[in-house]
Amino acid sequence: MSVTNRHIHGIRLPGGLSVARLRRAVRLGIRSLWLHRLRSLLTVLGIVFGVCSVISMLAIGEGASYEAQEQIKSLGSQNIILRSVKPPDSEKVSNQGRQSYVLQYGITYADVGRIRATIPGVTVILPARNIRDYVWNITRRVDCEMIGTVPWYPAMRNHRVVSGRFFTQDEMERQASVCVLGAEMVPRLFPIKSPLGRHVRVAGDYYQVIGVMEARGGAGETEGGAEQKDKSAACRMFIPLETVKLRYGEVLMRRRSGSFEAERVQLHELTVKVASLDEVINVAGAIRAVMERNHKNKDYQIDVPLEMLRRAERTKDIFNIVLGSIAAISLLVGGIGIMNIMLASVTERTREIGIRRALGARRRDIVVQFLVETVLLSGIGGIMGVLLGITIPLIVSHVAGMKTIITLWSPLLAFSISALVGVIFGIYPAVRAANMDPVEALRNE
Amino acid sequence: MTLPIVQIRNVHKTFHMGSVKVEALRGVSFEISAGEYISIMGPSGCGKSTLLNLLGCLDRPTVGHYLLGGQDVSGMDDDSLSAIRGSRLGFIFQSYNLIQQLTVLENIEIPLYYQDRPEAECRELASKLAARVGLSHRLGHKPFELSGGQQQRVAIARALVNDPLVILADEPTGNLDSASGVEILEIFDELNAQGKTLILVTHDAAVGKRARRTLRLRDGEIEHDVRH
Ligand SMILES: Nc1ncnc2c1ncn2[C@@H]1O[C@H](COP(=O)(O)OP(=O)(O)O)[C@@H](O)[C@H]1O
Ligand SMILES: [Mg+2]
> Which tens digits make up the pLDDT trace of B99-118?
999 999 999 999 998 988 88
Minimum mean pLDDT range among A18-32, A68-82, A187-201, A254-268:
A254-268
Q: What is the pLDDT of residue B25?
A: 95
- Which of B13, B17, B23, B50 for a ligand 1 pocket mutation test, highest count of atoms within 8 Å of Cβ? B50
Q: Whose CA is nearest to atom 4 of ligand 1?
A: B15
CA of residue A37 relative to chain centroid, distance: 40
Contacts of A22 in chain B (CB under 8 A): none
- Reply yes or no on whether the pLDDT at B68 is more than 90: yes
| Nearest CA-CA distance, residue B35 and chain A, Å | 22
Domain that holds residue A191: 86-298
- Reply yes or no on whether the pLDDT at A334 is more than 50: yes
What tens digit of pLDDT does each residue of A76-128 get?
888 888 888 877 765 545 445 454 567 778 888 888 888 888 888 787 788 88
How high is the mean pLDDT of chain A? Answer: 83
Q: Which domain-ending residue is among A242, A269, A298?
A: A298
Crossing angle (nearest 10°) for helices A3-10 and A19-35: 90
Q: What is the distance between the alpha carbons of residues B53 and B25, in angstroms, rounded to a whole number?
A: 12
B77 CB within 8 Å of a chain A CB: no
Buried b / exposed e over A247-273, threshold 16 CB at 10 Å, is bbeeebeeeeeeeebbbebbbbbbbbb
| Nearest CA-CA distance, residue A428 and chain B, Å | 20
- Reduced to 3 states (helix: H, G, I; strand: E, B; else coil), residue B215 is strand
- Reduced to 3 states (helix: H, G, I; strand: E, B; else coil), residue B176 is coil
How high is the mean pLDDT of chain B? Answer: 93
Q: Half-sphere exposure (CA, 13 Å, Cβ side) for A192?
A: 2
Q: What's the rounded mean pLDDT across residues A312-316?
A: 86
Q: What's the rounded mean pLDDT across residues B185-189?
A: 94
Q: What's the rounded mean pLDDT across residues B82-97?
A: 94
Q: Which ligand is nearest to the CA of B12?
A: 1
Q: What is the pLDDT of residue A160?
A: 87
Q: What is the pLDDT of residue A2?
A: 43
Question: How much distance in Å is there from the Cα of B152 to the middle of ligand 2?
Answer: 18
Residue (of B168, B111, B174) closest to A362 by Cα position: B111
Other beta carbons within 10 Å of A344: 13
| C-alpha separations of B128 from A218, A431, B35, B96 in Å | 74, 36, 22, 20
Residue B72 β-bridge partners: B67
Q: Which residue has the higher pLDDT, B193 or A328?
A: B193
CB A241 within 8 A of CB A112: no
Q: Which domain-ending residue is among A271, A298, A325?
A: A298
Q: Ligand 1: residues whose CB is within 6 Å? A: B 15, 17, 22, 24, 42, 44-50
B114 CB within 8 Å of a chain A CB: yes
What tens digit of pLDDT does each residue of A142-168 get?
888 888 998 988 888 878 899 999 999
- Reply yes or no on whether the pLDDT at A221 is more than 50: no
Classify strands A199-202 and A205-213 as parallel, antiparallel or unpaired. Answer: antiparallel
Q: What is the pLDDT of residue A253?
A: 64
| Nearest CA-CA distance, residue B89 and chain A, Å | 8
Question: How much distance in Å is there from the Cα of B201 to the middle of ligand 2?
Answer: 8
Q: What is the pLDDT of residue A327?
A: 78
Task: Give residue A6's pLDDT band: very low, low, confident or very high (50, 70, 90).
Answer: very low
Looking at chain A, the whole-number percentage of residues with pLDDT higher than 70 is 86
**How many folded domains does chain B comprise?**
1
For residue A305, which amino acid is it? Answer: P
Separate counts of helices (H) and strands (E) for chain B: 7, 10
Q: Which domain-ending residue is among A240, A267, A298?
A: A298
Minimum mean pLDDT range among A25-29, A222-226, A415-419:
A222-226
Residue (of B169, B175, B121) closest to B148 by Cα position: B175
Q: Whose CA is nearest to atom 6 of ligand 1?
A: B15
Q: Half-sphere exposure (CA, 13 Å, Cβ side) for A208?
A: 11
What phi and psi values does residue B6 have, to the nearest 5 degrees?
Answer: -120, 125
- Reply yes or no on whether the pLDDT at A336 is more than 60: yes
Do A337 and A365 belong to one domain?
yes
- Reply yes or no on whether the pLDDT at A181 is more than 70: yes
Q: Whose CA is nearest to atom 2 of ligand 1?
A: B15
Q: What is the pLDDT of residue A278?
A: 85
- Which of B12, B15, B19 for a ligand 1 pocket mutation test, highest count of atoms within 8 Å of Cβ? B15
What tens digit of pLDDT does each residue of A225-270 get?
434 433 445 788 999 988 888 888 776 666 555 666 677 788 888 8
Q: What's the rounded mean pLDDT across residues B204-210?
A: 88
Task: Give residue B216's pLDDT band: very low, low, confident or very high (50, 70, 90).
Answer: very high
Contacts of A364 in chain B (CB under 8 A): 79
Note whether residue A9 is domain-resident: no
Quote the DSSP letter at residue A278: G
Of all helices (H) and strands (E), which one includes residue A395?
helix A363-399
Q: What's the rounded mean pLDDT across residues A189-218?
A: 86
For residue A335, which amino acid is it? Answer: G
Question: How much distance in Å is there from the Cα of B153 to the middle of ligand 2?
Answer: 21
Minimum mean pLDDT range among A98-112, A158-172, A398-412, B126-140:
A98-112
Do A339 and A260 belong to one domain?
no
What tens digit of pLDDT does each residue of B145-181 get?
999 999 999 999 999 999 999 999 999 998 899 999 9
CB A81 within 8 A of CB A270: yes
Q: What is the pLDDT of residue A91?
A: 54
CB A309 within 8 A of CB A72: yes
| C-alpha separations of A436 from A6, A179, A430, B97, B215 in Å | 33, 87, 10, 17, 31
Atom of ligand 1 nearest to the CA of B23: 12
- Reply yes or no on whether the pLDDT at A69 is more than 60: yes
Note whether residue A253 is domain-resident: yes
Residue A209 β-bridge partners: A179
For residue B112, what is the domain's CATH number? 3.40.50.300
Do A46 and A130 belong to one domain?
no
Domain that holds residue B195: 4-227
Q: What is the pLDDT of residue A90?
A: 55
Contacts of B119 in chain A (CB under 8 A): 5, 20, 24
Q: What is the pLDDT of residue B1?
A: 54
- Reduced to 3 states (helix: H, G, I; strand: E, B; else coil), residue A266 is coil
Note whether residue A274 is domain-resident: yes
**How many folded domains does chain A comprise?**
2
Note whether residue A220 is domain-resident: yes
